[in-house]
Chains A and B, each alone.
Chain A
Amino acid sequence: MLSAAEFSHSRPFVPEAATEAHGVAPKSKHAKWAIEFERISKFFGAHRVLVDLDLQVQPGEKVTLIGPSGSGKTTVLRLAMTLEKPTGGDIRIFGESILFDSAGKPLSTSQEARIRRRCGMVFQQFNLFPHLTVLQNLVLAPTTVLRQSKEQAENTALEYLRMVGLEGKVHAYPAQLSGGQQQRIAIARALILKPEILLLDEITSALDPELAGEVLDVVRGVAHETKVTLLIVTHEMRFAREVSDRIAVFDAGRIIEQGSPDKIFSYPECDRTRAFLQSVLNH
């Protein structure tokens, strides 16, 4: 795996370049936010998961969502990735709603896909495609979505594999890799599309601590050496404290407290936050 310094040099993505590549320029008054959740509510049947959620993330900011299981953190990421539709409210990516056009009508599939392309997501269960090799996993989206040539996509894929320290696994299938290696491939697969916003959903929860470390090293590299906006859900408090610019504490579908890592971890204001941190840090 590359060191942080090498990582920065090998980093082939820059948000500004990516913006140009996607052909999307921020337009509205909301454009100062990379991602903005406005009065978002979400119900699954009668179960209320999010309640009037407001959250804004600046371009390049690293925001970590923490809180007890079932408090709605993962749902926030899934909504941003349009894997779920909110019951109410609006979500904007660089000022553009991912739900409605300027006339207030629901976006067409192609409009939604264009905006969504500015986000990438890494999942808890990796979700690599088990029937494809590592290289095929990485080139699938560039060749089918970005219509890159196979050769170009493979060359880029090799750069990203080098970046996550897995250039020797090009022709391996996911089942031949450890969990940590699979997750590093999943990160490379998300980054290869040059997202401006990267959503990381409990990416180490399925790994034992040793393998989690190698994945977190890769994310540290991304967080410290790039300008990509990160929205992270994690139970790794030390990692959250280290990489985040801001921590938002969730409870029962609401943000009960947010602030700098130092403030949240050293001087939490809410009793609920204190209780949560105590239970997590004592484990």
Chain B
Amino acid sequence: MEAVLEYWPVLIQGLWVTVWVSSCIILGAALGAIMLGVLRVSRTGVIRVLSMVFIECIRGPSALVLLFWVFYALPLLPGMPQLSPLAAAILVLALDGAVYGAEIVRAGIEAVNRGQADACHALGLSRFQSFTKVVLPQALSQIVPAFGSLARGMIKWTSIVSFIGVQDILYVANNVRAQTFETTIVFCLLAVLYWILTVLCGLVFRELEQVLPLNRALRAARAPSAYAPAGAAQ
């Protein structure tokens, strides 16, 4: 154990890379998921089909194959750049997260009662205003918990970035194991670190759920208040 602890500065550095990559891909996936999710429910059939094809194309192959493809095969195509290992890792994992997240966003949007959009239309709100002020704030109550689970999974996906040389916690821990031969301890430590990261991520999303507008409204309705309970006429 002491031999492993001697390497704590590099382990911390590796952990930081994992945290950084995780944060980037979760944020990127969230933005991508909203964009793709909106396209998935577009009224224009062509846009709907194209977005579905794109999602299926990215969701089909394993993330590792995509990562190898972007890092090793893409630069061989004329005019394509050679991405750094970190850029390739973030691009691929964010995209992979976005396509899974898009289906969560689509389901969240479709779960909002159709009458809400009708009411927006009757009040003269544009489709963009309806989406941003009424549909999305309500859909987020469905989207965020499911996306939180996906985000926890995405933290674990980052372990594949070491395959193209990104010096994340797995890459560093493997080197430490090779130096110290403390295989059991190193992998236990690795498991604990991933566990801590995913639990922290879960807590962040739980907090986020608390501030969502619809959740706040429903919590207020459940709490004893000055207002008459539902069912009582004034």
- A and B, one complex? yes
B191 at the interface (CB under 8 A from A): no
A173: chain B residues at CB < 8 Å are 217-218, 220-221
- For B122, give its contact among A165, A178, A190 (CB under 8 Å): A190
CB contact under 8 A between A125 and B213, given known A178-B228, A178-B233: no
Interface status of B110 (Cβ within 8 A of chain A): no
Nearest chain-B residue to A110 (Cβ)?
B126
Give B219 Cβ to nearest chain A Cβ, in Å. 9
CA gap between A130 and B218 in the complex, in Å: 8
Q: Is A107 an interface residue (CB 8 A)?
A: no
B138 touches A130 (CB 8 A): yes
Q: B125 to chain A: which residues have CB within 8 Å?
A: 140-141, 144-145
Q: Given A129-B116, A176-B225, verify A193-B126 contact (CB < 8 Å).
A: no
A32 is an interface residue with CB less than 8 A from chain B: no
A175 touches B119 (CB 8 A): no
A175 close to B123 (CB less than 8 A): no
- Minimum CB distance partner of A144 in chain B: B129
CA distance A132 to B212 in the complex (A): 11
**B interface secondary structure, majority:** helix
* Contacts A82-B121, A127-B118, A169-B227 given; does A181 touch B138 at CB 8 Å: no
Measured CA separation A145–B232 after assembly (Å): 33
Cα distance, A56 to B218, chains bound together (Å): 43
Partner of B115, one of A127, A165, A176: A127
Question: How distant is A203 from chain B, measured CB to nearest CB, in Å?
Answer: 13
Interface size of A in residues (CB-CB distance below 8 Å): 43
- In this complex, how many residues of chain B approach chain A with their Cβ under 8 Å: the count is 32
A168 to B226, CA, bound (A): 10
Q: In the complex, what distance in Å separates the CA atom of A121 from the CA atom of B138?
A: 22
Contact A129–B225 (Cβ < 8 Å): no
Q: Known A123-B118, A127-B116; judge A165-B126 contact (CB<8 A).
A: no
Cα–Cα, bound, A179→B218 (Å):
16
A120 within 8 A of B: yes
Q: Find out whether the CB atom of B233 lies under 8 angstroms from the CB atom of A120.
A: no
Q: Does B214 contact A (CB under 8 A)?
A: yes
Query: Quick check: is B80 within 8 A (CB to CB) of the other chain?
Result: no
* A190–B233 alpha-carbon span in the complex (Å): 21
Whether A14 sits at the interface, judged by CB under 8 Å, is: no
Question: What's the least CB distance linking A132 to chain B, in Å?
Answer: 7
Interface readout for B116-146 with A: 1 if CB under 8 Å, 0 if not?
A: 1011011111100100011001100000000
CB neighbours (8 Å) of B113 from chain A are 125, 127
A83 to B118, Cβ gap below 8 A?
Answer: yes
B227 and A172: CB pair below 8 A? yes
Tell me if A227 is interfacial: C-beta within 8 Å of chain B: no
Q: Report the minimum CB–CB distance from A11 to chain B (whole Å).
A: 20
Per the bound structure, the CA–CA distance linking A116 and B123 in Å amounts to 9
- Contact at A193–B124, with CB atoms within 8 Å? yes
**Closest Cβ neighbor of B216 among chain A residues:** A131
Q: How far is the CB of B223 from chain A (nearest CB, A)?
A: 9
The 5 closest A-B pairs by CB, nearest first: A175-B221, A127-B119, A131-B213, A141-B123, A121-B122
A/B interface sample: 29 pairs, CB < 8 A = A82-B121, A83-B118, A109-B126, A113-B124, A113-B126, A116-B121, A116-B124, A123-B118, A125-B113, A127-B113, A127-B116, A127-B118, A129-B119, A131-B134, A131-B137, A133-B217, A141-B124, A141-B125, A145-B123, A172-B227, A174-B217, A176-B227, A176-B230, A177-B227, A178-B232, A180-B233, A190-B122, A193-B124, A211-B233
- Which residues on B are within 8 Å of A, measured CB to CB? 113, 115-116, 118-119, 121-126, 129, 133-134, 137-138, 213-214, 216-218, 220-221, 225, 227-234
Q: Beyond the given A176-B221, A181-B233, could you list 20 further A-B residue pairs with CB under 8 A, ordered by the A residue number?
A: A83-B121, A119-B122, A125-B113, A127-B115, A127-B119, A128-B119, A129-B119, A129-B134, A130-B214, A130-B217, A131-B138, A131-B213, A131-B216, A132-B217, A140-B134, A166-B234, A175-B217, A175-B230, A210-B233, A214-B234
Spell out A's residues near B (CB within 8 Å). Answer: 81-83, 109, 113, 116-117, 119-121, 123, 125, 127-133, 140-141, 144-145, 165-166, 168-169, 172-181, 189-190, 193, 210-211, 214
